[in-house]
């Protein structure tokens, strides 16, 4: 089945530094990937849609300059949290859709990346 | 706009009990997809089922079963003879329109199965 790899799984950084999280589709191509954020004991909130070869589409309230998304190839999207602060500490999850016969995608999720900003 | 409601925040059962997790959704589209995902303590999301809006057949997979009722906009999930390994957070999700995989999640239900 489809596999999405997310790296790193855990990262701890100092306030003010930038952190990059990678999301790779291992055995399929994904023109679209999605980035979610999950606070403790809360649901997943869609942050942005990552589009291969073009700009990401951000959800309302998500700062595009804060959360830089790059989707340079059909198998890789990256999320960079710039100048991270403690309030950015969260669990970040990516997903990618593999097209099916019906045309509708079933999303496969990465294992998530837990960011802790000190 | 689409919305998914999981009214049960936390459920605790004893092993071997049956448990039903509720999911109610709202959408204006006639074509949509409903999902259930399991999130164990490790954090990864495990896909359980996808159901499209035109298929109201209930589904059974081992100890898991799903009841899709368009009339009440519900897509409930039942675990029969629960086990400790079933302990996790379960998310119901909705994706509108064919080919649109922008998925919105419910708040999740934390299931604890005690031995």
Identify all chain B residues contacting A107, using CB atoms and an 8 Å cutoff: 35, 47, 95, 101, 103
Closest chain A residue by Cα to residue B4:
A43
Per-residue pLDDT tens listing for chain B (115 residues): 779 999 999 999 999 999 999 999 999 888 888 999 999 988 888 889 988 888 888 888 999 999 999 999 999 999 999 999 999 999 999 988 644 557 889 999 999 999 9
Q: Using pLDDT thresholds of 50, 70 and 90, give the confidence band for residue A99.
A: low
Task: Name which of A103, A105, A111, A115 to mutate to probe chain B: the one with the most chain B Cβ atoms within 10 A of its Cβ.
Answer: A105
Euclidean distance between CA atoms A108 and B99, whole angstroms: 15
pLDDT in tens, A1-15: 778 999 999 999 999
Report how many Cβ contacts below 8 Å link chain A to chain B: 60
Q: What are phi and psi of B23, to 5 degrees?
A: -145, 125
Has residue A98 got a pLDDT over 80? no
- Judge: A43–B105 Cβ closer than 8 Å, yes or no: yes
Q: Does B25 touch chain A (CB under 8 A)?
A: no
What percentage of chain A reaches a pLDDT higher than 70? 92
Is pLDDT at A105 greater than 70 in this prediction?
A: no
Q: Which residues pair with A115 in a beta bridge?
A: A11, A90
Give the C-alpha separation, B111 to B102, whole Å. Answer: 26
Backbone angles phi, psi at B52, to 5 degrees: -90, 160
Whether B41 contacts chain A with CB within 8 A:
no
**If you search the block for the tokens 């016969």, which residue do you land on?**
A101
| Per-residue pLDDT at A104 | 54
Tokens, residue A57: 């589409």
pLDDT tens sequence across A14-56? 999 999 999 999 988 888 899 999 998 889 999 999 888 888 9
CB distance A104–B110 less than 8 Å? no
Over 60: is that where the pLDDT of A103 sits?
no
Decide: helix, strand or coil at residue A8. coil
Give A77's contacts (C-beta < 8 A, 6+ positions apart): A22, A23, A30, A33, A35, A50, A52, A69, A70, A71, A94, A96
């Amino acid at each position: 089945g489809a596999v999405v790899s997310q790296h790193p799984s855990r990262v701890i950084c100092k306030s003010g530094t930038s952190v990059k999280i990678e999301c790779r589709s291992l055995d399929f191509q994904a023109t679209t990937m999605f980035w979610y954020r999950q606070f403790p004991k809360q649901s997943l909130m869609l942050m942005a849609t990552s589009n291969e070869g073009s700009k990401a589409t951000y959800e309302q309230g998500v700062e595009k300059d804060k959360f830089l998304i790059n989707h340079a190839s059909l198998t890789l999207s990256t999320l960079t949290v710039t100048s991270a602060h403690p309030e950015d500490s969260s669990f970040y999850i990516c997903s990618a859709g593999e097209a099916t016969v019906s045309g509708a995608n079933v999303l496969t999720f990465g294992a998530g990346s837990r960011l802790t900003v000190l | 706009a689409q919305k998914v409601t999981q009214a049960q925040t936390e459920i605790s059962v004893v092993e071997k009990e049956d448990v039903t997790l509720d999911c109610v959704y709202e959408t204006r589209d006639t074509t949509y997809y409903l999902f259930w995902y399991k999130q164990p303590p490790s954090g990864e999301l495990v896909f359980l089922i996808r159901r499209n809006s035109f298929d109201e057949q209930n589904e059974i997979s081992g100890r898991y079963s799903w009841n899709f009722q368009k009339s009440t906009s519900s897509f409930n999930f039942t675990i029969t003879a629960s086990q400790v390994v079933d302990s996790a957070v379960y998310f119901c999700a909705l994706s509108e329109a064919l080919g649109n995989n922008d998925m919105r999640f419910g708040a999740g239900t934390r299931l604890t199965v005690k031995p």
